[in-house]
Amino acid sequence: MSSKKYYVTTPIYYVNDAPHIGSSYTTLAADIIARYYRDKLGKNNVFFLTGTDEHGQKIAEVAKKNNQTPLEFVDSIVPKFKEAWKLLNIDFDYFIRTTDPRHEKVASALLQKLYDKGYIYLGAYEGPYCIGCERYYKESELLNNRCPLHPDKEISHQREKNYFFKLKEVVEDYVLPKIKNKEYKILPEIRENEILSRVEEGVDDISISREGVTWGIPLPWDKTQTCYVWVEALMNYYSATLFLEGRQHFWPADLHLMAKDILWFHAVIWEALLIAADIDLPKTVFAHGFFTINGQKMSKSLGNVITPQELVNKYGIDGARYLLISAVAFGTDGDISLESFDQKYNADLANGLGNLVSRVAKMAEKSEFQFSSKDTKIYDEVHSAISEYRFDTALKFIWDKITLVDQAINKDEPWKLEGQKLKERLQYYLEEIAEIALNLKPFLPQTVEKIDKVFASPVIRMQEPLFPRLK
């Protein structure tokens, strides 16, 4: 059963921010993987989960600023995420919200289990807290007394009675050996090395509850405290498989996707919680890189946030999908600019794929050629690239095929041919295009549908261009 199913997740995003190209990037990558495995394993054997992280101090404060209750606020933001994913043609199977009482119930039962097994104890915590990250820092981790990820936010010093999870013990006894034995994978390898060296430096127990935060899940054995938002957020991946009907067998997850900013939580803390609760571990945790925009961090205050809507308005749905996923090698950091997107759109989509399809369709239309397709298959290189999360490699391979067909056309000069010879060449171009289309399906689903429609009809007729040139 286990090799016959695939379960992929994205982080559940904080609702204090609207969806932007960072969250779109991860969600799109998960969509491509889910579409690929649906074709390979069958639709019902894939589960793609995304959602929103809705508890915690940060969300409560933003709600207050908007004169709303936290629930009113989160309810008003969630549709924005769903709309953004729809806009990008992201076909998730379920959208989980941590305010869903069914999630709260599972999280609460898991917490109780950890408590009953002796992994949780009462202590006191004192230290710098960054509300942007919703986590405590060590003094030594701060830069100029500021959070390295949120230098614009004040660090608050907090002291409170907290419950702690015995992270140190579980990591030393179980997590570290399991990473070393590759019982679950942390990818790319460079990230695994970073995690390993951080674990080897030694970890402290973590506080898993908050005294002053009411917007959260109460601890079942001490209702004066709520669960630390990160702990119950991680549990979403497991809780969805339990509270949704018929999804139990999807656990353990095959792939947790995220950027490197939150890898520690996913590659160490989550595993420790699962081990302590006797639950199977996810198979792979993959952290991709971080985007900058024209060399700068993307931020509201710099006003350089790019929204999925902007991309879709300019490049169309599949244009946006292609530009995002091919922007950088998956796993590495990279810089994005709309100028480079324009260039790439024209080169690869308007000229490359779009032009190939329209020139062949025009020739076929003119000579009233009828195409009977042969069997197409996913290229071996694309199979292996996608199963290793090398989307850019898969696309590069497909684009090389596009170039080869273009070159063949230039060499053949089919406009000078007629009769059987012309038919043979058209048959060849169309077979190649059909195969290219099949390989592009997880990446550009709508474009592939359009291509299939052009060539599958008894009389081939080119419709409007797939990717109109940018003005």
Q: Which residues make up the interface to ligand MSP (CB under 6 A)? A: 11-14, 17, 22-23, 25-26, 53, 233-234, 236, 258-259, 261-262, 290-291, 298
* C-beta of residue 51 within 8 angstroms of C-beta of residue 95: yes
From CA 103, how far away is CA 376, in angstroms rounded?
A: 43
Smallest gap from Cβ 330 to ligand MSP, in A, equals: 11
User: Which residue, 158 or 236, is less far from ligand MSP as judged by CB?
Assistant: 236
How large is the greatest C-alpha to C-alpha distance in the chain, in angstroms? 86
Smallest gap from Cβ 381 to ligand MSP, in A, equals: 26
Starting from the edge strand earliest in sequence, which strands make up the sheet with 284-288, in order? 94-97, 46-53, 6-14, 255-259, 284-288, 185-187
Hey, which residues does 125 pair with through a beta bridge? 160
Smallest gap from Cβ 216 to ligand MSP, in A, equals: 13
* Strand locations in 192-283 (E): 206-207, 209-210, 218-219, 222-227, 255-259
Smallest gap from Cβ 448 to ligand MSP, in A, equals: 26
Smallest gap from Cβ 196 to ligand MSP, in A, equals: 20
CA distances from 290 to 76, 86, 286 (A): 28, 23, 13
Smallest gap from Cβ 234 to ligand MSP, in A, equals: 5
Smallest gap from Cβ 262 to ligand MSP, in A, equals: 5
User: Which residue, 300 or 374, is less far from ligand MSP as judged by CB?
Assistant: 300
User: Which residue, 12 or 130, is less far from ligand MSP as judged by CB?
Assistant: 12
Q: Which amino acid appears at position 15 of this protein?
A: V
Smallest gap from Cβ 56 to ligand MSP, in A, equals: 9
User: Which residue, 293 or 364, is less far from ligand MSP as judged by CB?
Assistant: 293
Instruction: Report CA torsion sign: 364, 367, 372, 375.
Output: negative
Smallest gap from Cβ 27 to ligand MSP, in A, equals: 8
User: Which residue, 13 or 467, is less far from ligand MSP as judged by CB?
Assistant: 13
User: Which residue, 22 or 216, is less far from ligand MSP as judged by CB?
Assistant: 22
User: Which residue, 11 or 128, is less far from ligand MSP as judged by CB?
Assistant: 11
Smallest gap from Cβ 13 to ligand MSP, in A, equals: 4
* C-beta of residue 241 within 8 angstroms of C-beta of residue 247: yes
Backbone angles phi, psi at 131, to 5 degrees: -75, -25
Closest CA to 270 of 230, 210, 243: 230
CA distances from 402 to 358, 376, 406, 440 (A): 13, 15, 6, 11
User: Which residue, 149 or 417, is less far from ligand MSP as judged by CB?
Assistant: 149
Smallest gap from Cβ 239 to ligand MSP, in A, equals: 11
Three-state secondary structure call for residue 457: coil
- Phi-psi category of residue 127: left, alpha or beta, with phi > 0 → left and psi -120 to 50 → alpha: left
User: Which residue, 39 or 61, is less far from ligand MSP as judged by CB?
Assistant: 61
Smallest gap from Cβ 166 to ligand MSP, in A, equals: 21
Question: Which stretches within 326-378 are classed as H helix?
Answer: 338-344, 355-366
Name the residue whose CB lies closest to ligand MSP: 22
User: Which residue, 24 or 439, is less far from ligand MSP as judged by CB?
Assistant: 24
Q: What is the DSSP code (8-state) at residue 278? A: T
* C-beta of residue 422 within 8 angstroms of C-beta of residue 437: no
Backbone angles phi, psi at 255, to 5 degrees: -150, 120
Pairing of strands 284-288, 255-259: parallel
What residues contact 367, with CB distance under 8 A and at least 6 apart?
418, 422, 423, 426
User: Which residue, 293 or 451, is less far from ligand MSP as judged by CB?
Assistant: 293
Long-range contact pairs involving 298-305 (C-beta distance under 8 Å, separation at least 24) = 298/20, 298/21, 298/22, 300/17, 301/152, 305/20
User: Which residue, 92 or 429, is less far from ligand MSP as judged by CB?
Assistant: 92
